[in-house]
Chain A
Amino acid sequence: MHRPVPRRSGRGLTRGIPAVLSVVSAFVIWEIYVRVSGISPLMLPAPSRVLDQMVQNRVLLWNNTLPTLTATFAGFALSLAVAFGLSIILDFMPRVRHALFPIFVVSQTLPLVAIAPLVVLWFGFDLSPKVLLVALVTFFPMLVALVDGYASTDPEIEDLMGSMGATRGQIFRAARFPSAMPYFFAGLRISITYAVVAAIFAEYVGARAGLGIVILNAKNSFRPDIVLAAVVISSLLTLVLFAATALLQRTVLRWRDVEGHR
């Protein structure tokens, strides 16, 4: 295994070029189509117009991004804490796991469209319904990842620790928990991409401020350019969160980088 390992930054840049090219060319085609066809900006605004609107409405957009971010972070923090706590309980109590797991699966089958208005109805227009909805959407992928991750522990390592006289708690901390980390990050990456979308949807259903409200109002006043401006911001938020997760993963799972490289 002596294959040369390219330097990470260089590899990242080279790999990024096709992606950037494809995105840029999609926008260029879009722009050209709008200009050539003369389609009304009320139907399909050009990317340049969307960008222009983002600059013009920057105060409005910024003021409404903050509540969305707050809901996203609070919901995600809640979801993370509950998923961790619950996963530990489920790992130590297989009976409870068997009893509760179906409920979590069912929680994933609930259509957000139906459940969001109900949550707003029950919890009002302030932060809590958004936090709950974000938590509901992001919770399951992380919980499943953790529970599966614990189960992936090498039985030889557990036997070895058993022969050393380790307690169940010691085995969990030293073997099962670290074994679950790669799985956890896979779940985390899925969850984080849902988080912003869930927050916006919750606002859409009922809120005083937020990107969801911007989208709702812009749609009602026939301003697709502002709708798209808000969409761009929500995508950027998700991308930033995704990148942050990847960075965290690289720090925590540094040992995986060395695998296969001598």
Chain B
Amino acid sequence: MTALSLNDVSVTFGGIPVLDRINLHVEQGEFVSILGPSGAGKSTIFRLLTGAQPQQTGTISCAGRENGFAFMPQRDALMPWRRIIDNLTLGLEVQGIPRKDARAKVAPLLGDFGLADFTAHYPAQLSGGMRQRAALLRTIVQGRSIQLLDEPFGALDALTRTQMQTWFEHRWRTARWTTLLVTHDVREAVALSDRIYVLSRRPARVIAEINVPIPRPRLGRPPSAQAYEIETQLLETLLQQTGETS
């Protein structure tokens, strides 16, 4: 079942086209990545979906519109004045769910996210990786049908990023969240995705759609030859876009 599809969506900022007839779709339980050069307008797609950016042309349809999207921003955007538990329940609080019920909803997931012992901490007391896990849990508990992740591991140091990606793949394999990930990290896209859309430079068009039929788990073991092949192919496509062919 198709969870989300964009048909011929275009966006213009002050006369400058940013998105040019974007077509993409995400199936239920599928992990799809949008890969593109920096500043291509990847985040603009998310802003459209979350309503921060008014739609201009084209159609966006999603199954169960009222149960739309949960968004995880690039930086964790945890509120420094709230304890972790109160950050996690923010989305539920906005939905009008009483605090007790919201906490009860978060509680069973705390262990899987490695946050069980840190609910009373403030974000500043946690490491970057833990903060990112908290931000992800805050996204998941909203119970939306599609998770939008905007470079969720981009702000982490290389080692923590690898650990988080491995952990995330493990979590994803059990939960199968329908996920749309925006990234400019080729390796991350190949490691996590079922399918990858490659965007061009501005104005962004979809220039390639690549299936990643590599068996999971893919992380925590040496990369397969197949993964290497796809990475090379993606990298070449992207480098052509930036005009810096190697």
Contact = CB atoms under 8 A, between A and B. Distances in A.
Contact of B52 (A154, A159, A258): A159
B79 interface: yes
A85 interface: no
Nearest to A262: B125
Interface stretch (A170-178, A187-195, A234-242): A170-178
A157 B52 contact: no
Contact of B93 (A174, A258, A259, A261): A174
Given A159-B52, A178-B79, A255-B81, A165 B124 contact: no
B51 interface: yes
B18 to A, nearest CB: 17
Interface stretch (B67-75, B100-108, B177-185, B206-214): B67-75
Given A160-B73, A261-B125, A262-B125, A165 B95 contact: yes
A175 B124 CA distance: 17
Interface in B147-161: 148
Contacts of B47: 159
B94 interface: yes
Nearest to A156: B77
B81 A181 contact: yes
Given A258-B125, A262-B125, A163 B71 contact: yes
B80 A259 contact: yes
A162 B52 contact: yes
A231 to B, nearest CB: 39
Interface string B112-151: 0000000001101100000000000000001000001000
A198 B2 CA distance: 68
A19 interface: no
A110 interface: no
B71 A255 contact: no
Interface residues of A, number: 25
Contacts of B74: 156
Contacts of A156: 73-75, 77
A260 B124 CA distance: 6
A154 B122 CA distance: 17
A165 B77 contact: no
B142 A164 contact: yes
Contacts of A261: 124-125
Contacts of B124: 255, 258-261
A237 B71 CA distance: 51
B1 to A, nearest CB: 23
A157 B71 CA distance: 11
A164 B51 CA distance: 10
A133 B242 CA distance: 64
Given A159-B52, A160-B71, A255-B122, A170 B79 contact: no
A44 interface: no
A166 interface: yes
Contacts of B71: 159-160, 163-164
B50 interface: yes
Contacts of A181: 81
A156 B71 CA distance: 11
Contacts of B73: 156, 159-160
Interface in A130-174: 154, 156-157, 159-166, 170, 174
A175 B79 CA distance: 8
B77 A154 contact: yes
A156 B76 CA distance: 9
Contacts of A259: 80, 122, 124
Contacts of B148: 163
Contacts of B35: none
Contact of B90 (A162, A174, A256): A174
B29 interface: no
Given A258-B122, A261-B124, A261-B125, 5 more contacts: A162-B50, A163-B52, A163-B148, A164-B90, A262-B125
